[in-house]
Amino acid sequence: MLPYTEGHWRGLTYTRQQFVREYENDCKPDENRNKGASRWSHCRKRGADGSLRKSHAVEEPGKCSQSSRRPESFTTPESEGPVSRVKNWGDEVEAEEMRSNVQRDMHRYRRRILEADFPQRDRKISSGSSDSRDSRDSKESPAKGDIETDEATLIRRQKQINYGKNTLAYDGYIKEVPKHMRQPGVHPKTPNKFKKYSRRSWDQQIKLWRVKLHAWDPPAEEGSDVQQIEVIDLGEIMDFELDVECSADTESKCPTSSGASLSLAKDSFTGTPKKMMKIEDTEMS
């Protein structure tokens, strides 16, 4: 028996066999290193060498073999899409809910865009989805057809947003700063999942957003401003230490989760390199 026959990854049940099969499908023998099958291979649109990977359905691995269905079942379920081999109802319903929420958000968003194009009455502050409120970006104003509609993408993005919103920092933030008081650039704004962005751009926006949210992390006794400054200082210190000591030790007291985020934190608050600049602009409304 294989020591690790099934893995749970992002709520999916995934047998090692399937994993290996898909890895073999993905890799050409001479490009092993660049398209290596890590657990996250399926998340990446491109391999490390930059070439587009064969795309897989984001959520579910492989196709369901209906032969796994017990013979005494009377119904042959028609899958709504690729289905993982072993599914539990809890996960299935959560996935349904996610899909349904995303569809609902999309309808609301479309209505909001239409209203923006054809304002018919005074805009009310709605209590609906707060992620995708802004349809007025002059730079990125989506034409009616030009929004992200791919369900798998929207679900993936929504999950990332949920991770960020499921934090004490976010809770603290929304309590402290009512939405109508938010100042662009100063206050973090949830990326709009309906706008068309490349995968990299989107992931970057999420990272920046989450870093900004850390300013409202609970341990801060003296309030958010001090916390922000702390982040910057640590960032500078980290870089310095790395340069001088070539230390691989990135253990830090900074609340951000990775070394990469640290330098982002520093960059976004003190000096904005060109690449960051563009994203900052897009974030602002």
Partner 1 sequence: METSSKEEYTIQSFDLETQKLLKTALKDPGSVDLEKVSNVIVDQSLKDQIFSREAGRICYTIVQAEAKQTNGNVFRRNLLNRLQQEFKAREETRKRSTQEWVCLVSFICNIFDYLKVNNIPMMALVHPVYDCLFRLAQSDALQNEEEVDCLVLQLHRIGDQLEKMNMQLMDELFNLLRDGFLLQDLSSMGRLLLLEILEFRAGGWTLSETAQKYYYSEVTD
Residues making contact with partner 1 (CB under 8 A): 72-75, 77, 80, 88-94, 96-97, 100-101, 104, 166
**213-231 burial code (b ≥16 CB/10 A, e <16):** bbbbbeebeeebeebbebb
In the bound state with partner 1, the residue whose beta carbon lies nearer, of 71 and 219, is: 71
In the complex, minimum distance from the CB of residue 240 to partner 1, in angstroms, rounded to a whole number: 40
In the complex, minimum distance from the CB of residue 239 to partner 1, in angstroms, rounded to a whole number: 37
In the complex, minimum distance from the CB of residue 175 to partner 1, in angstroms, rounded to a whole number: 15
What CA–CA distances, in Å, run from 181 to 19, 136, 144, 209? 48, 17, 28, 18
In the bound state with partner 1, the residue whose beta carbon lies nearer, of 28 and 175, is: 175
In the complex, minimum distance from the CB of residue 105 to partner 1, in angstroms, rounded to a whole number: 11
In the bound state with partner 1, the residue whose beta carbon lies nearer, of 17 and 88, is: 88
In the complex, minimum distance from the CB of residue 265 to partner 1, in angstroms, rounded to a whole number: 27
3-state secondary structure 219-245: CCCCCHHHHHHHHHHHHHHHHHHHHHH
In the bound state with partner 1, the residue whose beta carbon lies nearer, of 97 and 117, is: 97
Query: Are 27 and 37 spatial neighbours (Cβ–Cβ below 8 Å)?
Result: yes
In the bound state with partner 1, the residue whose beta carbon lies nearer, of 97 and 150, is: 97
In the complex, minimum distance from the CB of residue 76 to partner 1, in angstroms, rounded to a whole number: 8
In the bound state with partner 1, the residue whose beta carbon lies nearer, of 91 and 241, is: 91
Report the alpha-carbon distance of residue 281 to residue 285 in Å, rounded: 8
In the complex, minimum distance from the CB of residue 195 to partner 1, in angstroms, rounded to a whole number: 24
Query: Are 41 and 23 spatial neighbours (Cβ–Cβ below 8 Å)?
Result: yes
In the bound state with partner 1, the residue whose beta carbon lies nearer, of 96 and 225, is: 96
Is residue 82 left, alpha or beta, with left meaning phi > 0 and alpha meaning psi from -120 to 50? Answer: beta
